[in-house]
């Protein structure tokens, strides 16, 4: 197999890995968006089950739905209103959807090139076998 084909396969694997990461973040942000929509409907002092990981939850009381803490990157979090937080989440989801679409296009192009390369390689191998067979006759 040619070096070019191996590089294309490595590129496809790297793109697929990035797509998997983006899909995981999209799922997380979608979950956050759903939770924010649910919070809008809750009243103060409502009792909630807050996930802490490992399919485990802690009971908590909702004291203030007007202010939320949202991460803005590099380990920094800021206090925002519920509508501001929803806007941030929606913007991130939009950006990630664009990135995912772009990566999917790149992945399709790389896979197409891989398939073309494999076809050429298989054709070359078949031609070499024919030449070898006709030389042995």
Q: What is the pLDDT of residues 43-67, one digit of tens each?
A: 888 998 988 999 999 999 988 888 8
pLDDT of residue 126: 86
- Per-residue pLDDT, averaged over 86-113, amounts to 96
For residue 137, pLDDT beyond 70: no
Residue 2 banded pLDDT, cuts 50, 70, 90:
confident
Closest CA to 19 of 111, 85, 128: 111
Q: Which domains does the chain have, with CATH numbers?
A: 3-42+70-128 (1.10.287.370)
pTM for this prediction = 0.79
Distance CA 99, CA 92 (A): 10
Cα distances (angstroms) measured from residue 73 to each of 31, 88, 92, 95: 19, 12, 12, 15
């Amino acid at each position: 197999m040619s070096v070019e084909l191996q590089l294309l396969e490595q590129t496809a694997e790297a793109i697929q890995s990035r797509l998997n990461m983006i899909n995981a973040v999209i799922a997380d942000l979608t979950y956050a968006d759903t939770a924010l929509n649910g919070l809008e409907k809750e009243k103060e002092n409502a009792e909630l089950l807050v996930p802490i990981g490992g399919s485990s939850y802690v009971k908590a009381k909702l004291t203030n739905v007007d202010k939320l803490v949202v991460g803005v990157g590099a380990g920094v979090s800021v206090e925002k209103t519920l509508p501001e937080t929803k806007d941030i989440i929606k913007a991130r989801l939009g950006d990630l959807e664009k990135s995912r679409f772009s990566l999917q296009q790149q992945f399709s192009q790389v896979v197409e090139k891989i398939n073309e390369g494999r076809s050429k390689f298989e054709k070359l191998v078949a031609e070499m076998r024919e030449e070898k067979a006709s030389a042995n006759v």
